[in-house]
Chain A
Amino acid sequence: MRAAVALLVVLTAASLSAAEAQTDFYARLGLTGTTKLLKDDILQQIEVRQSLAPTLALGVSFPFTPLYGAGLEVTVTSSGFHSTESGSQTDLGTLRTGSIMLGLDGPVWRQLRWRAGAGLLSYWPAEKRGIFLGGGSTRFLAGAGLDYRRPVFPRWELMMSLRYDFHRFTTDELVARGFSGTQGVQRVSASVGLARGRR
Protein backbone atom coordinates (compact mmCIF):
# COMPACT_ATOMS: atom_id res chain seq x y z
CA MET A 1 0.00 0.00 0.00
CA ARG A 2 2.78 2.38 1.01
CA ALA A 3 4.59 1.61 -2.25
CA ALA A 4 1.43 2.31 -4.25
CA VAL A 5 0.97 5.71 -2.59
CA ALA A 6 4.62 6.56 -3.16
CA LEU A 7 4.28 5.58 -6.82
CA LEU A 8 1.13 7.74 -7.14
CA VAL A 9 2.91 10.74 -5.60
CA VAL A 10 5.90 10.32 -7.90
CA LEU A 11 3.68 9.98 -10.99
CA THR A 12 1.59 13.02 -9.99
CA ALA A 13 4.69 15.12 -9.38
CA ALA A 14 6.12 14.02 -12.71
CA SER A 15 2.95 14.89 -14.60
CA LEU A 16 2.65 18.29 -12.85
CA SER A 17 6.27 18.98 -13.67
CA ALA A 18 5.63 18.11 -17.30
CA ALA A 19 2.54 20.35 -17.38
CA GLU A 20 4.51 23.16 -15.77
CA ALA A 21 7.23 22.74 -18.37
CA GLN A 22 4.61 23.25 -21.08
CA THR A 23 2.81 26.09 -19.35
CA ASP A 24 3.22 29.36 -21.08
CA PHE A 25 3.60 32.61 -19.12
CA TYR A 26 3.84 36.05 -20.61
CA ALA A 27 3.82 39.74 -19.79
CA ARG A 28 3.46 42.59 -22.24
CA LEU A 29 3.30 46.37 -22.27
CA GLY A 30 1.50 48.35 -24.92
CA LEU A 31 -1.17 50.83 -25.83
CA THR A 32 -4.93 50.50 -26.18
CA GLY A 33 -7.17 52.68 -28.32
CA THR A 34 -10.91 52.76 -27.70
CA THR A 35 -13.89 53.89 -29.71
CA LYS A 36 -16.36 56.28 -28.07
CA LEU A 37 -17.91 55.29 -24.75
CA LEU A 38 -20.96 57.43 -25.22
CA LYS A 39 -22.75 59.72 -27.63
CA ASP A 40 -25.25 62.19 -26.27
CA ASP A 41 -27.24 65.14 -27.51
CA ILE A 42 -27.93 68.14 -25.28
CA LEU A 43 -28.72 70.83 -27.82
CA GLN A 44 -25.35 69.88 -29.31
CA GLN A 45 -23.71 66.52 -29.92
CA ILE A 46 -21.37 65.28 -27.21
CA GLU A 47 -19.01 62.33 -27.30
CA VAL A 48 -17.12 60.72 -24.44
CA ARG A 49 -13.94 58.87 -25.21
CA GLN A 50 -11.09 57.28 -23.31
CA SER A 51 -7.65 58.49 -24.34
CA LEU A 52 -4.95 56.19 -25.70
CA ALA A 53 -4.12 54.07 -22.66
CA PRO A 54 -0.89 52.46 -21.51
CA THR A 55 -1.63 48.77 -21.09
CA LEU A 56 -0.19 45.91 -19.06
CA ALA A 57 -1.15 42.37 -20.05
CA LEU A 58 -0.33 39.22 -18.11
CA GLY A 59 -1.27 35.75 -19.20
CA VAL A 60 -0.89 32.04 -18.85
CA SER A 61 -1.71 29.32 -21.33
CA PHE A 62 -1.88 25.54 -21.01
CA PRO A 63 -1.59 23.37 -24.13
CA PHE A 64 -4.25 20.70 -24.35
CA THR A 65 -3.12 19.32 -27.72
CA PRO A 66 0.21 19.78 -29.51
CA LEU A 67 -1.32 22.67 -31.49
CA TYR A 68 -3.97 24.26 -29.27
CA GLY A 69 -3.99 25.81 -25.84
CA ALA A 70 -6.40 27.33 -23.34
CA GLY A 71 -5.45 30.35 -21.32
CA LEU A 72 -6.25 33.26 -19.11
CA GLU A 73 -5.25 36.82 -19.91
CA VAL A 74 -5.53 39.81 -17.60
CA THR A 75 -5.09 43.37 -18.83
CA VAL A 76 -5.04 46.68 -17.04
CA THR A 77 -5.22 50.11 -18.68
CA SER A 78 -5.12 53.61 -17.26
CA SER A 79 -5.68 56.89 -19.01
CA GLY A 80 -7.76 60.03 -19.01
CA PHE A 81 -11.19 60.31 -20.51
CA HIS A 82 -12.82 63.35 -21.98
CA SER A 83 -15.91 64.74 -23.60
CA THR A 84 -15.89 66.52 -26.93
CA GLU A 85 -18.48 69.11 -27.84
CA SER A 86 -18.31 71.48 -30.80
CA GLY A 87 -14.65 70.60 -31.24
CA SER A 88 -13.58 71.45 -27.71
CA GLN A 89 -12.52 68.82 -25.21
CA THR A 90 -13.18 68.68 -21.48
CA ASP A 91 -11.06 66.50 -19.25
CA LEU A 92 -13.30 64.24 -17.18
CA GLY A 93 -10.59 62.65 -15.03
CA THR A 94 -8.81 59.33 -14.93
CA LEU A 95 -10.34 56.04 -15.94
CA ARG A 96 -8.79 52.63 -15.31
CA THR A 97 -9.99 49.39 -16.75
CA GLY A 98 -9.24 45.80 -15.86
CA SER A 99 -10.22 42.79 -17.90
CA ILE A 100 -9.97 39.08 -17.50
CA MET A 101 -10.47 36.83 -20.48
CA LEU A 102 -10.58 33.07 -20.85
CA GLY A 103 -9.56 31.98 -24.30
CA LEU A 104 -8.21 29.47 -26.76
CA ASP A 105 -5.15 29.80 -28.95
CA GLY A 106 -3.96 27.99 -32.00
CA PRO A 107 -1.55 28.22 -34.91
CA VAL A 108 -1.86 30.49 -37.92
CA TRP A 109 1.47 30.21 -39.64
CA ARG A 110 4.92 29.50 -38.29
CA GLN A 111 5.30 31.55 -35.10
CA LEU A 112 2.07 33.42 -35.60
CA ARG A 113 -0.83 32.24 -33.43
CA TRP A 114 -4.45 33.31 -33.06
CA ARG A 115 -6.22 33.80 -29.77
CA ALA A 116 -9.94 34.24 -29.04
CA GLY A 117 -11.88 34.41 -25.83
CA ALA A 118 -14.50 35.96 -23.62
CA GLY A 119 -14.51 37.46 -20.16
CA LEU A 120 -15.29 40.53 -18.11
CA LEU A 121 -14.19 44.14 -18.25
CA SER A 122 -14.45 46.56 -15.32
CA TYR A 123 -14.27 50.34 -15.39
CA TRP A 124 -12.73 51.97 -12.33
CA PRO A 125 -13.10 55.77 -12.45
CA ALA A 126 -10.83 57.78 -10.17
CA GLU A 127 -13.82 59.87 -9.07
CA LYS A 128 -17.49 59.10 -8.68
CA ARG A 129 -18.98 61.88 -10.77
CA GLY A 130 -20.61 62.54 -14.12
CA ILE A 131 -21.38 59.36 -16.02
CA PHE A 132 -19.71 57.41 -13.20
CA LEU A 133 -21.62 59.13 -10.38
CA GLY A 134 -23.04 55.76 -9.38
CA GLY A 135 -19.64 54.07 -9.58
CA GLY A 136 -17.85 51.94 -12.14
CA SER A 137 -19.28 49.31 -14.39
CA THR A 138 -18.54 45.68 -15.24
CA ARG A 139 -19.41 44.35 -18.69
CA PHE A 140 -19.07 41.16 -20.69
CA LEU A 141 -16.20 41.20 -23.12
CA ALA A 142 -15.28 39.17 -26.19
CA GLY A 143 -12.17 39.46 -28.23
CA ALA A 144 -9.54 37.96 -30.45
CA GLY A 145 -5.98 38.62 -31.45
CA LEU A 146 -2.72 37.54 -32.96
CA ASP A 147 0.55 36.72 -31.22
CA TYR A 148 3.93 36.58 -32.89
CA ARG A 149 6.89 35.07 -31.07
CA ARG A 150 10.55 35.03 -31.73
CA PRO A 151 13.18 33.32 -29.53
CA VAL A 152 15.55 35.74 -27.84
CA PHE A 153 17.03 33.76 -24.92
CA PRO A 154 16.93 30.10 -23.93
CA ARG A 155 13.29 29.48 -22.90
CA TRP A 156 12.39 33.15 -23.44
CA GLU A 157 10.66 34.58 -26.46
CA LEU A 158 9.88 38.07 -27.61
CA MET A 159 6.12 38.34 -27.93
CA MET A 160 4.31 40.89 -30.08
CA SER A 161 0.55 40.97 -29.89
CA LEU A 162 -2.42 42.64 -31.48
CA ARG A 163 -5.74 42.45 -29.71
CA TYR A 164 -9.25 43.44 -30.60
CA ASP A 165 -12.14 43.23 -28.20
CA PHE A 166 -15.60 44.66 -27.78
CA HIS A 167 -18.23 45.13 -25.14
CA ARG A 168 -21.41 47.08 -24.62
CA PHE A 169 -20.98 50.03 -22.29
CA THR A 170 -23.31 51.68 -19.86
CA THR A 171 -23.26 52.74 -16.21
CA ASP A 172 -25.77 52.83 -13.37
CA GLU A 173 -25.90 56.61 -13.68
CA LEU A 174 -26.72 56.50 -17.39
CA VAL A 175 -29.48 53.95 -16.78
CA ALA A 176 -30.86 56.08 -13.92
CA ARG A 177 -31.00 59.09 -16.26
CA GLY A 178 -32.98 57.24 -18.87
CA PHE A 179 -30.33 56.29 -21.41
CA SER A 180 -31.61 53.21 -23.20
CA GLY A 181 -29.60 50.41 -24.71
CA THR A 182 -25.85 50.27 -24.47
CA GLN A 183 -22.97 51.67 -26.45
CA GLY A 184 -20.89 49.29 -28.56
CA VAL A 185 -17.26 49.90 -27.63
CA GLN A 186 -14.36 48.40 -29.52
CA ARG A 187 -10.79 48.38 -28.33
CA VAL A 188 -7.60 47.65 -30.21
CA SER A 189 -4.26 47.17 -28.53
CA ALA A 190 -0.70 46.56 -29.61
CA SER A 191 1.84 45.32 -27.13
CA VAL A 192 5.31 43.84 -26.80
CA GLY A 193 6.67 41.62 -24.05
CA LEU A 194 8.33 38.40 -23.08
CA ALA A 195 6.95 34.89 -22.93
CA ARG A 196 8.41 31.91 -21.15
CA GLY A 197 7.38 28.34 -21.67
CA ARG A 198 6.04 26.64 -24.76
CA ARG A 199 8.85 25.76 -27.17
Chain B
Amino acid sequence: MKLPDHLPILFGLGGAVAALACADIASPSRADRYEWRRIVATGPGTADTLSFHWPRSRLPVRVWVEDTLNLPSDVQGGIDQWKAAFLYGEFDAVIVPDSSTADVVVRAGSPVNGGFSVIRLASTAPECEGGTDFDLPSGSLELVPPIRVFVNPRFDPATPGVAECLALTTTHELGHAIGIFAHSPVATDIMFGDPVVPALSARDGATVEAAYHLQPNLSIGTR
Protein backbone atom coordinates (compact mmCIF):
# COMPACT_ATOMS: atom_id res chain seq x y z
CA MET B 1 0.00 0.00 0.00
CA LYS B 2 1.39 3.38 -0.98
CA LEU B 3 0.24 6.49 0.86
CA PRO B 4 0.18 9.85 -0.90
CA ASP B 5 3.40 11.85 -0.60
CA HIS B 6 1.70 14.87 0.99
CA LEU B 7 0.45 13.02 4.08
CA PRO B 8 3.65 13.35 6.19
CA ILE B 9 3.60 17.12 5.56
CA LEU B 10 -0.03 17.35 6.64
CA PHE B 11 0.60 15.36 9.81
CA GLY B 12 3.70 17.44 10.58
CA LEU B 13 1.79 20.67 10.24
CA GLY B 14 -1.03 19.28 12.35
CA GLY B 15 1.37 18.30 15.12
CA ALA B 16 3.03 21.71 15.17
CA VAL B 17 -0.31 23.47 15.32
CA ALA B 18 -1.53 21.16 18.10
CA ALA B 19 1.57 21.99 20.17
CA LEU B 20 0.81 25.70 19.77
CA ALA B 21 -2.73 25.09 20.93
CA CYS B 22 -1.70 23.78 24.34
CA ALA B 23 -0.79 27.02 26.16
CA ASP B 24 -3.09 28.10 29.00
CA ILE B 25 -4.74 31.44 29.62
CA ALA B 26 -3.18 33.38 32.52
CA SER B 27 -5.39 34.31 35.49
CA PRO B 28 -5.33 37.86 36.78
CA SER B 29 -3.79 38.61 40.15
CA ARG B 30 -6.55 38.96 42.71
CA ALA B 31 -4.24 39.88 45.56
CA ASP B 32 -5.69 43.36 45.96
CA ARG B 33 -8.53 42.60 48.33
CA TYR B 34 -9.48 43.39 51.90
CA GLU B 35 -10.22 41.27 54.96
CA TRP B 36 -13.83 40.11 54.72
CA ARG B 37 -13.96 37.84 57.76
CA ARG B 38 -15.13 39.00 61.17
CA ILE B 39 -12.63 38.62 63.95
CA VAL B 40 -14.30 38.46 67.36
CA ALA B 41 -12.73 38.36 70.78
CA THR B 42 -13.52 35.12 72.55
CA GLY B 43 -11.66 35.82 75.78
CA PRO B 44 -8.57 37.48 77.17
CA GLY B 45 -5.97 37.29 74.39
CA THR B 46 -8.03 34.95 72.22
CA ALA B 47 -10.08 35.59 69.13
CA ASP B 48 -12.05 33.74 66.51
CA THR B 49 -12.36 34.43 62.82
CA LEU B 50 -15.87 34.03 61.47
CA SER B 51 -16.52 33.52 57.78
CA PHE B 52 -19.60 32.66 55.82
CA HIS B 53 -20.86 32.28 52.30
CA TRP B 54 -24.06 30.89 50.93
CA PRO B 55 -23.56 27.24 50.00
CA ARG B 56 -24.38 26.14 46.46
CA SER B 57 -27.18 23.99 47.80
CA ARG B 58 -28.99 27.12 49.01
CA LEU B 59 -28.84 29.01 45.73
CA PRO B 60 -30.65 31.02 44.63
CA VAL B 61 -30.84 32.88 47.93
CA ARG B 62 -34.43 34.02 48.52
CA VAL B 63 -34.71 37.73 49.31
CA TRP B 64 -37.86 39.45 50.46
CA VAL B 65 -37.99 43.22 50.24
CA GLU B 66 -40.44 45.74 51.65
CA ASP B 67 -42.21 47.62 48.87
CA THR B 68 -41.28 51.18 49.84
CA LEU B 69 -38.65 53.83 49.09
CA ASN B 70 -37.82 52.19 45.75
CA LEU B 71 -36.32 49.35 47.75
CA PRO B 72 -37.37 46.53 45.36
CA SER B 73 -35.48 48.20 42.53
CA ASP B 74 -32.48 48.96 44.75
CA VAL B 75 -32.36 45.37 45.98
CA GLN B 76 -32.59 43.97 42.46
CA GLY B 77 -29.80 46.33 41.41
CA GLY B 78 -27.69 45.17 44.34
CA ILE B 79 -28.30 41.50 43.58
CA ASP B 80 -27.37 42.06 39.94
CA GLN B 81 -24.13 43.80 40.92
CA TRP B 82 -23.06 41.05 43.29
CA LYS B 83 -24.00 38.30 40.83
CA ALA B 84 -21.92 39.99 38.14
CA ALA B 85 -18.88 39.83 40.40
CA PHE B 86 -18.71 36.06 40.02
CA LEU B 87 -17.42 34.06 37.07
CA TYR B 88 -18.43 30.55 38.06
CA GLY B 89 -22.00 30.68 39.33
CA GLU B 90 -20.91 30.97 42.95
CA PHE B 91 -23.86 33.17 43.95
CA ASP B 92 -27.40 33.77 42.84
CA ALA B 93 -30.43 35.36 44.48
CA VAL B 94 -34.06 36.01 43.65
CA ILE B 95 -36.69 38.27 45.15
CA VAL B 96 -39.57 36.27 46.64
CA PRO B 97 -43.07 37.52 47.50
CA ASP B 98 -43.37 36.01 51.00
CA SER B 99 -41.04 37.02 53.83
CA SER B 100 -41.87 33.85 55.74
CA THR B 101 -39.84 31.81 53.25
CA ALA B 102 -37.04 34.30 52.69
CA ASP B 103 -33.37 33.78 53.56
CA VAL B 104 -32.78 37.53 53.60
CA VAL B 105 -35.37 40.13 54.62
CA VAL B 106 -34.85 43.74 53.58
CA ARG B 107 -36.88 46.43 55.30
CA ALA B 108 -36.93 50.20 55.49
CA GLY B 109 -36.30 51.59 58.93
CA SER B 110 -33.70 51.85 61.63
CA PRO B 111 -31.93 48.64 62.54
CA VAL B 112 -33.59 47.09 65.58
CA ASN B 113 -32.06 44.59 67.91
CA GLY B 114 -33.98 41.36 67.73
CA GLY B 115 -33.38 40.50 71.35
CA PHE B 116 -30.95 37.65 70.78
CA SER B 117 -27.28 37.36 70.00
CA VAL B 118 -26.85 39.53 66.95
CA ILE B 119 -23.85 40.46 64.88
CA ARG B 120 -24.53 43.91 63.50
CA LEU B 121 -22.70 45.32 60.52
CA ALA B 122 -23.72 48.91 59.97
CA SER B 123 -22.96 51.57 57.42
CA THR B 124 -23.28 55.27 58.04
CA ALA B 125 -23.55 57.68 55.16
CA PRO B 126 -24.72 61.27 55.75
CA GLU B 127 -28.04 60.89 53.92
CA CYS B 128 -29.03 57.41 55.07
CA GLU B 129 -28.04 54.50 57.25
CA GLY B 130 -28.06 50.77 56.90
CA GLY B 131 -27.49 47.68 58.97
CA THR B 132 -27.38 43.93 58.59
CA ASP B 133 -28.18 41.63 61.48
CA PHE B 134 -27.07 38.04 61.74
CA ASP B 135 -28.51 35.81 64.43
CA LEU B 136 -25.74 33.59 65.72
CA PRO B 137 -26.74 31.90 68.99
CA SER B 138 -24.02 31.83 71.61
CA GLY B 139 -21.64 28.92 71.15
CA SER B 140 -23.14 28.01 67.79
CA LEU B 141 -21.53 28.08 64.35
CA GLU B 142 -24.88 28.01 62.56
CA LEU B 143 -26.58 31.27 61.64
CA VAL B 144 -30.34 31.37 62.13
CA PRO B 145 -32.16 32.66 59.06
CA PRO B 146 -33.34 35.10 57.95
CA ILE B 147 -30.53 37.60 57.73
CA ARG B 148 -32.15 40.99 58.28
CA VAL B 149 -31.16 44.07 56.32
CA PHE B 150 -32.32 47.58 57.19
CA VAL B 151 -31.93 50.75 55.22
CA ASN B 152 -33.22 54.07 56.46
CA PRO B 153 -33.19 57.61 55.06
CA ARG B 154 -32.00 60.28 57.49
CA PHE B 155 -33.99 62.98 55.65
CA ASP B 156 -37.10 63.23 53.53
CA PRO B 157 -36.59 60.61 50.77
CA ALA B 158 -37.17 63.35 48.17
CA THR B 159 -34.10 65.26 49.40
CA PRO B 160 -31.31 65.26 46.80
CA GLY B 161 -28.83 62.50 47.41
CA VAL B 162 -31.08 60.34 49.57
CA ALA B 163 -32.23 58.03 46.76
CA GLU B 164 -28.62 57.49 45.63
CA CYS B 165 -27.59 56.86 49.23
CA LEU B 166 -30.34 54.28 49.69
CA ALA B 167 -29.33 52.48 46.48
CA LEU B 168 -25.64 52.20 47.31
CA THR B 169 -26.31 51.42 50.96
CA THR B 170 -28.64 48.60 49.90
CA THR B 171 -25.89 47.15 47.71
CA HIS B 172 -23.45 47.56 50.62
CA GLU B 173 -25.75 45.78 53.08
CA LEU B 174 -26.42 42.98 50.61
CA GLY B 175 -22.63 42.58 50.48
CA HIS B 176 -22.75 41.81 54.21
CA ALA B 177 -25.67 39.45 53.69
CA ILE B 178 -23.78 37.40 51.13
CA GLY B 179 -20.70 36.99 53.29
CA ILE B 180 -18.53 40.11 53.52
CA PHE B 181 -18.47 40.46 57.29
CA ALA B 182 -16.14 43.45 57.46
CA HIS B 183 -15.66 46.90 56.01
CA SER B 184 -13.09 47.91 53.46
CA PRO B 185 -10.66 50.64 54.57
CA VAL B 186 -10.72 52.18 51.08
CA ALA B 187 -13.37 54.75 50.13
CA THR B 188 -13.59 53.62 46.50
CA ASP B 189 -14.98 50.25 47.58
CA ILE B 190 -18.72 49.72 48.02
CA MET B 191 -17.91 47.95 51.30
CA PHE B 192 -16.23 51.03 52.79
CA GLY B 193 -17.80 51.79 56.18
CA ASP B 194 -19.32 55.01 54.90
CA PRO B 195 -20.00 53.95 51.31
CA VAL B 196 -19.91 56.67 48.67
CA VAL B 197 -19.44 54.82 45.38
CA PRO B 198 -22.47 53.42 43.54
CA ALA B 199 -20.85 50.28 42.17
CA LEU B 200 -18.52 47.47 43.17
CA SER B 201 -14.82 48.07 42.70
CA ALA B 202 -12.36 45.49 41.42
CA ARG B 203 -11.29 45.06 45.06
CA ASP B 204 -14.87 44.32 46.10
CA GLY B 205 -15.04 41.75 43.30
CA ALA B 206 -11.76 40.10 44.24
CA THR B 207 -12.81 40.04 47.90
CA VAL B 208 -16.17 38.40 47.36
CA GLU B 209 -14.63 35.89 44.97
CA ALA B 210 -12.13 34.92 47.65
CA ALA B 211 -14.93 34.66 50.22
CA TYR B 212 -16.71 32.14 48.01
CA HIS B 213 -13.64 30.01 47.35
CA LEU B 214 -12.55 29.58 50.94
CA GLN B 215 -14.28 27.07 53.19
CA PRO B 216 -16.35 29.08 55.70
CA ASN B 217 -16.63 28.14 59.36
CA LEU B 218 -20.21 29.35 59.71
CA SER B 219 -23.18 27.64 58.12
CA ILE B 220 -26.80 28.70 57.96
CA GLY B 221 -29.89 26.82 59.06
CA THR B 222 -33.08 26.36 57.07
CA ARG B 223 -36.38 28.12 57.59
Contact = CB atoms under 8 A, between A and B. Distances in A.
Contacts, number: 96
Interface stretch (B37-45, B85-93, B187-195): B85-93
Interface residues of A, number: 45
Interface string A159-170: 000001011111
A164 B22 CA distance: 14
A43 B3 contact: no
Nearest to B19: A184
Contacts of B209: 42
A43 B215 CA distance: 10
A75 interface: no
Interface in A76-130: 83, 85, 90-93, 106-109, 114, 116, 129-130
Interface stretch (A8-16, A23-31, A172-180): A172-180
A168 B21 CA distance: 7
A21 to B, nearest CB: 25
B214 interface: yes
Contact of B21 (A44, A177, A186): A186
Interface string A180-194: 111111100000000
A72 interface: no
Contacts of B23: 181-184
Given A39-B25, A40-B88, A43-B213, 7 more contacts: A42-B27, A90-B89, A106-B4, A166-B21, A170-B25, A180-B28, A184-B24
